[in-house]
Structure 1
């Protein structure tokens, strides 16, 4: 999943603090008293907006070195969320951005390499400052920063060097590659593991072929001297690092040892678990049923699906097969129902009827779902009492089962649920009614929703209107805008959707519909934007 970008234009408050900080760092003069930059530095740190870094770095490097320490500490603190995995975002952003100070002269753009060459390397904050400068648009400045970074030997420089391995200047790139190869030592093993996400970025970079460098780093991480660091990476709080460490451990070990499989199958990350189960459950040798049972209880449907495939290929216990009849996944549950019949174990509906007496709410919910899929109309009498169950999950399953079984007057039952139950149950009822909207009168349904007065019920009814014909839907959306202040915003948004779908059908507008819609539009005129009003009037004229 892509991460949200954290480098954005700073707020006006932060810009003001940057301006005042720049003024405060200027030397005192005849008409300028010395000012304290501390409050502005503190305010910038508290705001924590990485978008100020470009100008903050320029202000710090322009200031007297004796007054620079506070700014350098602020730069390090504000840049912390970028390090090391978000450095590519910084690299891209800083080369495309402009000064936010709106003042003549861009100090960042005018930096020279002498300033970089004179930066001290004594404190971690200084190394962060130097590393950020290595993303400057000027190649001489980047090279000067890289030269200084190669002199650091404590691991804090590694992320910045990996980033510059993809530099478009070949001299910088070669210097960085040499520095990285020199760091393939046991003392750097943990640091390389912590930078696996950044190395993955480098592997995706297309500017140059980084294969030889990445292969060398991977061989080192898989080596015996780096093995303790690699195993430590299996405990990383960052799932991308854990995923990559598992891949490297698998590659280093060949067939996965039992301890590694056990650990991977217990990992909270679904990708790691899926790969571990896939290696075990797809093996040819006889499978221990304990692993299959464990996979059958996993939260990820595809892992449970692998377990079900194993069950079908082996002589599994009846109770293990029966467990899949109550799976949360509709696809797996229905597959188990077919397999149950193939094995001549009887009608799955009988199993569901018996299970409705159990105390487990989850089992009851899945039994209701299964009974709706396999039962008969008469089974609705068993389902109806569960519409009053204390748990919403059970009531949702019950309303879906009623919708499938379709007993007499089931639409009235589902409609009452939609109007009176909680939002999630009402949504399930709405999903059912959408399939049967042609058998309903929309006007009374909306009137009842307005009387009940719950916004989630009204929104569900408006969603049901999506299944109406083009002109019917417009009529009921306009009525909703006029009669429900609570759901008006949602109804107006639905009007936008209606307009975007206008040309998808060719239903002719009758004179009666035209008159009704014109009247409603006059009443709703004050509640609609001028753009929406113009659009609707146009389509009414087009008819």
Structure 2
């Protein structure tokens, strides 16, 4: 019971007791007068459970309800209620983000009360599970409080090495609050973050700092899981590139995990070893798709012309979607896609690749594309799942044909007619009608 309730009771004005459940329900009632009375009554209870309700109603759409909630929240700005604040952080964060009206005067009072070292310690050590929003709010709140250089360093270090990328990135952006020596130490700590973007930013800070980066750190970052981080480190590697190459060659041969082999292969190629092409060709048969993906990416950087066209076909035949997507990316950048017959052979060998091969077919002429779609559908017309996917692609072809002015060749028309006759009856009537309309428009059908 708070001081106001005690004073009223001593004066003989003790109100009738209303069950707590009723007060909570009334605080969300549709009638603003009911909500206002409930908020006043809830505030008078002095209960820790009242604070979240008061904070929620502080953003009420009725001015009088907000004012009552503001007054009620003010009663909780004393040390005896700090545990209640620790349990109401979700509602406080929601109020801080609310935009119905300007809550800054109330929020400044609250933050001023919570900003003492003792209160902040209670908030951080609360046993209640902390949401990401609350953790981020607490970090930003603590960031605005003056701290010693050592305390600030520990705060930022903990955030950078934590499990929240938003907090880690914000901590790295706050490095300027530290002394130069601490700043350099924090940048080095960031190179051990769980997030590649933070590691990359930390490494950039190390490389552009006043003190030269240590060779051991650069060599360590050359083996990072992120290609961006590795590229930064390799570009700064000055001495003993040959020694690093030998280390990674050994790691590639003996590494147990696919990730380690993939990183080693990629770094060897980045270092420009003489047998990079041979290594990648050998790695194209690796059992791990991660390694084959690195090999395919690197091989595309070494070939052009007909060799690139052949590599596209080879990569599209890979059993892994990860590797096949690399070939699709090269086609999007201008590589020549395989023709309709080659795509059909690929889908016959691996029906699961149809969706990606259908994307490849969009880079063919519209008539080669529909020839591939119809021929693939004819081959798997008994497979209901495949037919559904093929029907979806045929509808997309129909939609794209509204922008087509290319006439089919006689050979294309002949092939399309043959496949159309084989699949027509397996398609829905609506799709049959739409396809037939386009085929008639270009005189493929009479």
Same fold (TM over 0.5): yes
TM-score (norm 1): 0.65
Measured at CA, do residues 260 and 381 of structure 1 come closer, stay the same or move farther in structure 2, by a change above 3 Å?
same
Aligned counterparts, 1:228-267, within 5 A: 228-232=121-125, 236-254=129-147, 257=151, 258-267=153-162
Which residue among 410, 417, 423 is the counterpart of 1:524? 423
Asked whether the 8 Å contact 2:340–2:369 carries over to 1, the reply is no
Asked whether the 8 Å contact 1:380–1:402 carries over to 2, the reply is yes
SS in structure 2 of the partner of residue 184 of structure 1: coil
Aligned to 2:264: 367
Which residue among 383, 406, 421 is the counterpart of 2:280? 383
Distance between the aligned counterparts of 2:122 and 2:138, measured in 1? 10
SS in structure 1 of the partner of residue 301 of structure 2: helix
Aligned to 2:95: 202
Aligned to 1:424: 322
Which residue among 353, 374, 387 is the counterpart of 1:488? 387
Distance between the aligned counterparts of 2:40 and 2:184, measured in 1? 58
Measured at CA, do residues 191 and 262 of structure 1 come closer, stay the same or move farther in structure 2, by a change above 3 Å?
same
Aligned to 1:404: 301
Distance between the aligned counterparts of 1:192 and 1:458, measured in 2? 57
Asked whether the 8 Å contact 1:264–1:276 carries over to 2, the reply is yes
Q: Say whether 1:447 aligns with 2:342.
A: no
Aligned to 1:161: 54
Task: Mark the runs of 5 or more structure 1 residues left unpaired by the alignment.
Answer: 1-116
Distance between the aligned counterparts of 1:401 and 1:460, measured in 2? 21
Aligned to 1:70: none
**1:380 offset after TM fit, Å?**
1.6
RMSD across aligned positions (CA): 3.7
Asked whether the 8 Å contact 2:337–2:364 carries over to 1, the reply is no
Distance between the aligned counterparts of 1:260 and 1:403, measured in 2? 45
**1:436 offset after TM fit, Å?**
6.6
Q: Deviation string for 1:498-541 (max 9, x for gaps)?
A: 44544566544445545544554454344444444444444445
Size of the aligned set, in residue pairs, is 415
Distance between the aligned counterparts of 2:17 and 2:420, measured in 1? 72
Asked whether the 8 Å contact 2:162–2:193 carries over to 1, the reply is no
Distance between the aligned counterparts of 2:413 and 2:26, measured in 1? 66
Aligned counterparts, 1:169-318, within 5 A: 169-232=62-125, 236-254=129-147, 257=151, 258-280=153-175, 283=178, 285-286=180-181, 291-313=186-208, 314-318=211-215
Asked whether the 8 Å contact 1:162–1:198 carries over to 2, the reply is yes
TM-score (norm 2): 0.78
Distance between the aligned counterparts of 2:213 and 2:93, measured in 1? 42
Aligned to 1:136: 29
Q: Deviation string for 1:407-429 (max 9, x for gaps)?
A: 98565566455435344344445
Aligned to 1:474: 370
SS in structure 2 of the partner of residue 171 of structure 1: helix
Measured at CA, do residues 190 and 435 of structure 1 come closer, stay the same or move farther in structure 2, by a change above 3 Å?
same
Task: Mark the runs of 5 or more structure 2 residues left unpaired by the alignment.
Answer: 1-15
